């Protein structure tokens, strides 16, 4: 392996995109959760929902900022490090990114201001609407990004002239074949990931002795979400896998470590795929099951890695192991969610210290699964950057190795400092808990205040009644 | 169509870049002025004056960069590698600036490092943007449609001067924004600073106006051909007039007009630079037609722009309207 601008650019992109995806995944889910909480609060008037919405908004603000700044890096890196890619597919991918910025990025970024700073500036319904718009904007952002990425996986609706892709049919480009399921898979992953963070937070507070209504509410809402979406995700994932079998057979062969197309694919539980010898070492497998899952029959034959020329094969180790990590975590998520639902039904979930003890450590589960899934799909697309159009090795910018080495070193240093600080700060916010736990902002809790003041607050919040300190003030 | 589409897109991207420069310019500017006070309350006030807006403002940078890729992939693919180091520096600096908004509050009372990150991040981002601007004006070496220069071509006395000019200009935008949005000691100090900054900015503008035609015959030709001069003379005159008006308004009690005239100066300088370089997107060789994307790509996104851009402008205005008036302490979520 030669250390050149190409290798370093790959490492740099993998590093920056992996750091980035963690935050949008979390904020897509969290913005939807906050919007739900605000909606419930408007509907029921129950203060715990308001308390929780405020609590999660603080964490959202920190996470969103990290998502924004790490995302801008990516939109420029296509040019700085992959300029030949930008030229080759710019006609097709550029507009998708353009639509992302125009339709989603502005929406989330602008209404974020109202969501964070508008608690007392705008009426509650408008504040709720802003939260809904932010949640919708983050999901819409995902829509375009997943569309662009899916197009790179399996391009459609275009023609290639002199190595450059030209659009032919925009509907086919945007809704390319692997896009719908990939998008569904990612959105569900984002909501599921956030549910585990909420669950872990609630569990942590309960275990710390803060047996508050808000902690219980977090645990209940998270269990409900996990018990429903974790199995749904397995179903979506299964369909997505069949897409891969149809459209990206080389990737599927790498995932399954399938070397011999004369035999049905076995479900390889464990192995060490040896790419040089073109076989699996230490293999433990169940014959026929991979064929059954991907092609619907124990005897179905499908292309193996050997059916592709060596230079057209993706690396095997990373897709193989990352896929198993993702699926393993997914299965544990389903089991854990169902046990939680069962305990909840029995009425003992808040007493089950063992379950809660595990629950408090489940917060990274979704993030690890998401990263693993992306490793599978991105490494599995190699050696192509946009399948059939441009190879990764041909896409790198005319920049020097030294330049990329310096920038990569800077990215590693800056990200280590900034994101470590960010995660520690989020951790501190989570530990502090909603204001009813920390007691820092006591006036938030109506029961500790004179009734009259509480009424004043309610009047201010709901926008009718007498003017108080919190009342929306006229403009200057 | 083939001729008009790139012109329309050049106008759109120019608008996006201009909006970015003005809007994020004052965000970055107040941060550049951060070290001029040690008072905690004043720093809070300064940061709060932009906190609800900065994210939306920075999005224009994404539209500028993304739009360049959408409309002129060839130019995007030349400019980004050509300015590899300043672009990466700018991105890293914007990371520090962006997270400082949130981290500073959460980290209190141990937040001084984030004050430093806010200031240094903003200053380096502004300086890098100036380097890129200067580097584009002085020209980029291109061969076979690709960047063909060296890794440090962008580092010359001229680009460093442009970098300093942008830092000063943003600081002026920040100071006049503070006059508009705050009261008390913050506004008073900003008014004093704005006068010095205005003089410095006008100095930089004059320097660029002299330097570029002297160094680049194509720019001299553009401005001083008799026919052109007859059309173009109002630009420098208007710029000088706006500078004079800003100066006068800074000495009265006006709160909004200094900011407005500063924006006008930026707009005129931007137009002036565009006139100097049109139709080159990557001077001195790649025009907007050379670099344009496929017409179908142009049209596809233009349809979206026609609907979405007015909406964006509308809700951006709504957000500014929501947080109108002087900065208040009650609007935070912290």
Apex B134 CA angle, B130 and B138, nearest 5: 170
**Residues sharing a CB contact under 8 Å with residue A112, sequence separation 6 or more, in sequence order:** A64, A134, B55, B56
Is A473's pLDDT higher than 50? no
Structure ipTM = 0.87
In terms of DSSP H, where are the helices of A121-178?
124-153, 170-174
Residue where the block lists tokens 């002025």: B33
Report CB contact under 8 Å: B316, A111.
no
Q: What is the pLDDT of residues A61-118, one digit of tens each?
A: 989 989 988 988 998 899 999 999 999 999 999 999 999 998 888 888 888 888 888 8
Distance, in Å, from the CA atom of A84 to the CA atom of A399, rounded to the nearest integer, reads 11
Residue where the block lists tokens 């408008």: A126
- Do B103 and B114 form a contact (C-beta atoms < 8 A)? yes
Q: What is the pLDDT of residues A214-249, one digit of tens each?
A: 899 999 999 999 999 999 999 999 999 999 989 999
Report CB contact under 8 Å: B147, A398.
yes
- Do B81 and B151 form a contact (C-beta atoms < 8 A)? no
Q: Which two tokens stand for residue A467?
A: 């003017």
Nearest chain B residue (CA) to A84: B77
Q: Which DSSP symbol is given to A396?
A: -
Nearest chain B residue (CA) to A130: B319
- Do A114 and A126 form a contact (C-beta atoms < 8 A)? yes
Q: Is B113 exposed, middle or buried (0-12, 13-18, 19+ CB in 10 A)?
A: middle
- Respond yes or no on whether the N-terminal peptide bond of residue B279 is cis (omega within 30° of 0): yes
Report CB contact under 8 Å: A72, B62.
yes
The pLDDT profile of chain B, 334 residues, written as one tens digit per residue, is 678 899 999 999 999 999 999 999 999 999 999 999 988 888 988 998 998 888 888 888 888 888 899 999 999 999 999 999 999 999 999 999 988 988 888 887 778 889 999 999 999 999 999 999 999 999 999 998 889 988 999 999 999 999 999 999 999 999 999 999 998 889 999 999 999 999 999 999 999 999 999 999 889 988 888 888 888 888 899 999 999 999 999 998 888 999 999 999 999 999 999 888 888 989 888 999 988 888 899 999 999 999 989 988 988 888 888 888 888 765 555 5
- Do B130 and B167 form a contact (C-beta atoms < 8 A)? yes
Q: What is the pLDDT of residues B216-247, one digit of tens each?
A: 988 998 888 888 888 888 889 999 999 999 99
Q: Which DSSP symbol is given to A475?
A: P
Residues 75-114 of B with CB under 8 A from A: 76-81, 84-85, 87-88, 91-92, 94-96, 98-99, 101-103, 106-107
Termini Cα distance of chain B? 52
More confident residue, A377 or A109: A377
Residue A296 has what pLDDT? 84
Distance, in Å, from the CA atom of B204 to the CA atom of B202, rounded to the nearest integer, reads 5
Q: Which two tokens stand for residue B69?
A: 């890729």
Secondary structure of A342-383 in the HEC alphabet?
A: HHHHHCCCCCCHHHHHHHCCCCHHHHHHHHHHHHHHHHHHCC
- Do B236 and B208 form a contact (C-beta atoms < 8 A)? no
Nearest by Cα to A388 from A69, A158, A82: A158
Report the pLDDT averaged over residues A397-407. 92
Q: Alpha-carbon Rg of chain B, whole angstroms?
A: 20
Element (H, E) at A16: helix A5-44
Nearest by Cα to A291 from A346, A360, A242: A242
Q: Which residues of B41-74 are buried (b: 16+ CB within 10 A; e: fewer)?
A: ebbbbbbbbbbbbbbbbbbbbbbbbbbbbbbbbb
Residue where the block lists tokens 């429903």: A228
Nearest by Cα to B183 from B326, B53, B48: B326
- Do B304 and A98 form a contact (C-beta atoms < 8 A)? yes
Q: How far apart, in Å, are the Cα atoms of B40 and each of A15, A420, B47?
A: 37, 25, 11
CA distance B108 to chain A (A): 11
Q: Which two tokens stand for residue B206?
A: 């004059």
Nearest by Cα to B62 from A130, A70, A167: A70
The mean pLDDT of chain A is 87
A121: which chain B residues are within 8 Å (Cβ-Cβ)?
Answer: 322-323, 331
Is A121's pLDDT higher than 50? yes
Q: What is the pLDDT of residues A246-304, one digit of tens each?
A: 999 999 999 988 888 888 888 888 989 988 888 888 888 888 888 888 888 888 888 88
Site from B151, B321, B322 to mutate, A interface, most A CB atoms within 10 angstroms: B322
Residue A444 has what pLDDT? 38
A274: helix, strand or coil: strand
Residue A472 has what pLDDT? 35
Q: Residue A260: left if φ>0, alpha if ψ -120 to 50, beta else—which one?
A: beta
Distance, in Å, from the CA atom of B44 to the CA atom of A214, rounded to the nearest integer, reads 31
Q: Give the number of other Cβ atoms within 10 Å of residue B231's Cβ.
A: 10
> Cα A381 to the chain's mean position, in Å?
19
Distance, in Å, from the CA atom of B94 to the CA atom of A431, rounded to the nearest integer, reads 29
Q: Is A466 exposed, middle or buried (0-12, 13-18, 19+ CB in 10 A)?
A: exposed
Residue where the block lists tokens 């807006």: B53
Residue where the block lists tokens 């300064």: B46
Residue A106 has what pLDDT? 87
Distance, in Å, from the CA atom of B87 to the CA atom of A78, rounded to the nearest integer, reads 12
Residue B332 has what pLDDT? 56
Site from A102, A115, A141 to mutate, B interface, most B CB atoms within 10 angstroms: A102
Q: What is the pLDDT of residues A315-365, one digit of tens each?
A: 999 999 999 999 999 999 999 999 999 999 998 888 888 999 999 999 999
Residue A301 has what pLDDT? 87
Report the pLDDT averaged over residues A166-182. 95
Residue B330 has what pLDDT? 54
How is chain A split into domains, by residue range? 5-247+321-462
- Do B197 and B168 form a contact (C-beta atoms < 8 A)? yes
**Residues sharing a CB contact under 8 Å with residue A36, sequence separation 6 or more, in sequence order:** none
CA distance A470 to chain B (A): 8
> Cα B150 to the chain's mean position, in Å?
26
DSSP readout, B199-262?
HHHHHHHHHHHHHHHHH-HHHHHHHHSHHHHHHHTHHHHHHHHHHHHHHHHHTTT-SSHHHHHH
Residue B1 has what pLDDT? 66
Q: Phi then psi for A14, rounded to 5 degrees?
A: -60, -40
Residue A436 has what pLDDT? 65
More confident residue, A313 or A121: A313
Q: Can you list the domains of chain B with their CATH numbers? A: 4-322 (1.20.1630.10)
Report CB contact under 8 Å: B63, A476.
no
Beta-ladder partners of B253: none
Report CB contact under 8 Å: A65, B98.
yes
- Do A68 and A116 form a contact (C-beta atoms < 8 A)? no
More confident residue, A459 or A33: A33
In terms of DSSP H, where are the helices of chain B?
4-32, 40-48, 54-71, 73-82, 84-107, 112-138, 157-181, 185-215, 217-224, 226-232, 234-250, 257-277, 288-291, 295-322
Distance, in Å, from the CA atom of A143 to the CA atom of A136, rounded to the nearest integer, reads 10
User: How do beta strands A158-161 and A267-274 pair?
Assistant: unpaired
Residue A438 has what pLDDT? 53
A400: which chain B residues are within 8 Å (Cβ-Cβ)?
Answer: 151
Angle, helices A106-117 vs B295-322, to 10°: value is 10
Report CB contact under 8 Å: A65, B99.
yes
Q: Which residues of A190-199 are buried (b: 16+ CB within 10 A; e: fewer)?
A: bbbbbbbbbb
- Do A135 and A143 form a contact (C-beta atoms < 8 A)? no
């Amino acid at each position: 392996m030669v250390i050149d601008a190409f290798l370093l650019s790959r490492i740099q992109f993998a590093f920056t995109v992996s750091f980035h995806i963690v935050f949008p995944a979390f904020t897509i889910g969290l913005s939807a959760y906050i919007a739900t909480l605000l909606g419930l609060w408007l509907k029921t008037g129950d203060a715990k929902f308001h308390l929780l919405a405020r609590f999660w908004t603080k964490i959202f603000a920190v996470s969103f900022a990290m998502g924004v700044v790490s995302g801008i890096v990516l939109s420029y890196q296509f040019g700085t490090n992959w300029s030949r890619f930008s030229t080759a597919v710019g006609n097709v991918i550029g507009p998708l990114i353009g639509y992302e910025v125009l339709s989603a990025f502005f929406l989330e970024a602008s209404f974020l201001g109202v969501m964070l700073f508008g608690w007392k500036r705008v009426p509650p319904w408008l504040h709720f609407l802003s939260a809904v718009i932010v949640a919708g904007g983050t999901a819409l952002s995902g829509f375009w990004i997943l569309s662009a990425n899916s197009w790179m996986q399996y391009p459609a609706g275009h023609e290639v002239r002199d190595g450059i892709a030209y659009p032919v049919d925009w509907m086919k480009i945007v809704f390319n074949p692997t896009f719908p399921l990939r998008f569904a898979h990612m959105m569900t992953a984002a909501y599921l990931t956030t549910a585990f963070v909420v669950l872990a937070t609630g569990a942590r507070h309960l275990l710390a002795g803060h047996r508050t209504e808000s902690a219980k509410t977090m645990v209940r809402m998270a269990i409900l979400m996990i018990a429903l979406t974790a199995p749904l995700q397995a179903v979506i994932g299964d369909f997505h896998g069949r897409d891969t079998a149809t459209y990206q057979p080389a990737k599927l062969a790498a995932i399954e470590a399938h070397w011999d197309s004369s035999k049905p694919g076995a479900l390889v539980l464990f192995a060490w795929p040896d790419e040089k010898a073109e076989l699996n070492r230490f293999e433990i497998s169940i014959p026929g099951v991979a064929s059954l899952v991907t092609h619907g029959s124990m005897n179905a034959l499908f292309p193996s890695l050997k059916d592709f020329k060596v230079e057209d094969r993706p690396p095997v180790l990373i897709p193989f192991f990352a896929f198993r990590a993702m699926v393993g975590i997914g299965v544990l998520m389903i089991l854990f969610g169902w046990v939680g639902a069962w305990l909840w039904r029995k009425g003992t979930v808040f007493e089950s210290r063992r379950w809660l003890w595990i629950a408090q450590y489940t917060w990274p589960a979704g993030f690890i699964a998401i990263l693993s899934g992306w490793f599978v799909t991105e490494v599995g697309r190699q050696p192509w950057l946009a399948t059939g159009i441009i190879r990764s090795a041909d896409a790198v910018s005319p920049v020097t190795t030294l330049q990329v080495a310096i920038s990569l070193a800077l990215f590693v240093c800056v990200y280590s400092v900034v994101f470590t600080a960010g995660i520690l700060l989020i951790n501190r916010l989570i530990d502090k808990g909603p204001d009813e736990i920390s007691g820092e902002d006591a006036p938030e809790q109506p029961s500790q205040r004179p009734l009259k003041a509480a009424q004043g607050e309610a009047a201010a919040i709901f926008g009718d009644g007498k003017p108080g300190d919190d009342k929306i003030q006229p403009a200057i | 169509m083939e001729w008009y589409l790139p012109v329309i897109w050049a106008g759109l991207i120019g608008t996006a870049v201009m909006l970015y420069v003005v809007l994020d310019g004052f965000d970055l500017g107040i941060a550049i002025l951060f070290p001029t006070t040690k008072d905690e309350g004043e720093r809070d006030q300064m940061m709060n004056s932009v906190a609800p807006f900065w994210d939306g403002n920075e999005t224009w940078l994404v539209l500028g960069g993304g739009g360049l890729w959408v409309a002129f992939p060839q130019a995007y693919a030349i400019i980004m590698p050509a300015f590899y180091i300043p672009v990466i520096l700018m991105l890293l600096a914007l990371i520090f600036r962006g997270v400082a908004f949130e981290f500073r509050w959460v980290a209190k009372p141990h937040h001084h490092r984030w004050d430093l990150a806010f200031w240094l991040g903003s200053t380096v981002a502004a300086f890098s943007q100036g380097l890129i601007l200067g580097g584009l004006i002085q020209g980029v070496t291109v061969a076979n449609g690709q960047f063909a220069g060296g890794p440090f071509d962008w580092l010359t006395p001229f680009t460093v001067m442009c970098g300093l000019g942008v830092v000063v200009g943003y600081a002026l935008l920040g100071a006049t924004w503070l006059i508009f949005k705050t009261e008390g000691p913050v506004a008073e100090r900003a008014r004093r600073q704005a006068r010095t900054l205005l003089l410095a900015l006008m100095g930089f503008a004059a320097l660029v106006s002299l330097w570029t035609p002297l160094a680049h015959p194509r720019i001299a030709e553009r401005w001083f051909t008799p026919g052109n001069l007859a059309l173009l003379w109002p630009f420098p005159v208007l710029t000088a007039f706006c500078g004079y008006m800003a100066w006068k308004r800074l000495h009265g009690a006006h709160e909004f007009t200094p900011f407005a005239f500063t924006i006008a100066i930026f707009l005129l300088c931007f137009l002036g630079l565009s006139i100097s370089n049109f139709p080159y997107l990557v001077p001195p060789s790649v025009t907007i037609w050379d670099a344009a994307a496929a017409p179908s790509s142009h049209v596809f996104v233009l349809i979206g722009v026609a609907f979405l851009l007015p909406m964006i402008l509308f809700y951006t205005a709504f957000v500014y309207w929501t947080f109108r008036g002087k900065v208040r302490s009650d609007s935070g979520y912290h």
